[in-house]
Structure 1
Amino acid sequence: MKRPDTVGMGSASARSLWVVVALFEAVTPGMSFSRREWPPHVTLASPFVVEAPAEDLARAVESAGGDEWPLRVRFGGRAMFGARHDVPVQLVESADVVALHERLAVVLETMPGFVARDPRHWRQGYRPHMTHVPTVAVHTGDSRELRSMALAELAGPTATVIAAFDGSRM
């Protein structure tokens, strides 16, 4: 993986809530959006905290990124996620995405102070999926390519991209 583009790493708290996602289109550091209106993405590492500087976290994510970009995914059936089962998702089938999740888990879980917000969604409980976005229609059997990866800080209702790894440069 090439060096990440980063922004604002000095301002991120060591106890921030983080997430790692793969996207179909590149994003840039500093982009912020409502957590309810993410660009289409596949979550690679669900929300977690670490007691490490953002720069170290970005390097750890980069180290797990691998060289197999872009990642081809095939969409499976629909499901409902979330604590109340009210979040519509499209399941994703990809051995490469599962392998990337595992590499991220190995690296992130060894960082100081690592805590997964919901450990049931890590390792054996990981189910690759794309949260439904009204402007994106995919059907069971459709295939697409994930082209980039991002580390985002979650603060209240907002997600901010802190580091972006563009697959076209990997």
Structure 2
Amino acid sequence: MGRFAIVLPIDPLAAGDSFPVSSWPLHVTVVEPFDTRHDAERVGDLMGPVLHGRLAIDVSAFDRAMFGRRRDVPVTLVSDDGPLGAMRTRLLDALREGDVDVAHARLDFRPHVTDTAHGTMPTGRTVRLRQVALVDLRPPEGRAMRTVAAVWPLDEA
């Protein structure tokens, strides 16, 4: 069984890139981790039509917050003019239609950048998200690693 997440990295990633769990690159998660019986290729096939022709998304950091069950995960909340939420909705719909169980997707989606070993996204900063990445959360390298299974560029306006 596969486990994946769909993210928009702040800095570009390449298919095949790997990183330790403790060292995620800065990113906005658009679809939180989900389990599926499908492999990365099949999940990517479901995502591709949704992402074809989509434009890069500008997000602005506006506040800091604490996430997680114990409210101990520091994040920077980001906002856009709607395309991020629309992308999330379309991706979730495509995954559901492709027999991927995304029933655990949060109803209260709050786009954010989690602080990592790579730093934080300071409030007031605006970044252009130019890429979507499918990240394998159970790669052959082992549980302590994450691997970028596929990437899709977002077109410039």
TM tier, shorter chain? 0.7 to 0.9
Alignment partner, residue 151 of structure 2: 164
CA 1:133 to 1:113, structure 2 compared with 1: closer, same or farther past 3 Å?
Answer: closer
Give the alignment's Cα RMSD to 1 decimal: 2.1
Offset, 1:113: 4.7
CA distance in 2, matches of 1:20, 1:138: 19
Offset, 1:164: 1.0
Alignment partner, residue 33 of structure 1: 19
CA 1:78 to 1:66, structure 2 compared with 1: closer, same or farther past 3 Å?
Answer: farther
What secondary structure is seen at the aligned counterpart in 1 of 2:150?
A: strand
Alignment partner, residue 153 of structure 1: 136
- Kept in 2, the 8 Å contact 1:61–1:151? The answer is no
CA distance in 2, matches of 1:126, 1:110: 20
CA distance in 2, matches of 1:73, 1:45: 16
TM-score normalised according to structure 2 size: 0.85
Letter in 2 for 1:39: P
Offset, 1:69: 2.4
Letter in 1 for 2:131: S
What are the ranges of 5 or more consecutive residues in structure 2 without an aligned counterpart?
none
1:46 pairs with 2:32:
yes
| 1:30-64 Cα distance to aligned partner (Å, 9 max, x none) | 11111221111000100001222322210112222
CA 1:52 to 1:86, structure 2 compared with 1: closer, same or farther past 3 Å?
Answer: same
CA distance in 2, matches of 1:115, 1:137: 28
Alignment partner, residue 87 of structure 2: 100
TM-score normalised according to structure 1 size: 0.79
What fraction of aligned residue pairs are identical, expressed as a percent? 30
CA 1:68 to 1:113, structure 2 compared with 1: closer, same or farther past 3 Å?
Answer: closer
Letter in 2 for 1:105: L
How many residues are paired up?
Answer: 152
Offset, 1:158: 1.6
What are the ranges of 5 or more consecutive residues in structure 1 without an aligned counterpart?
1-14
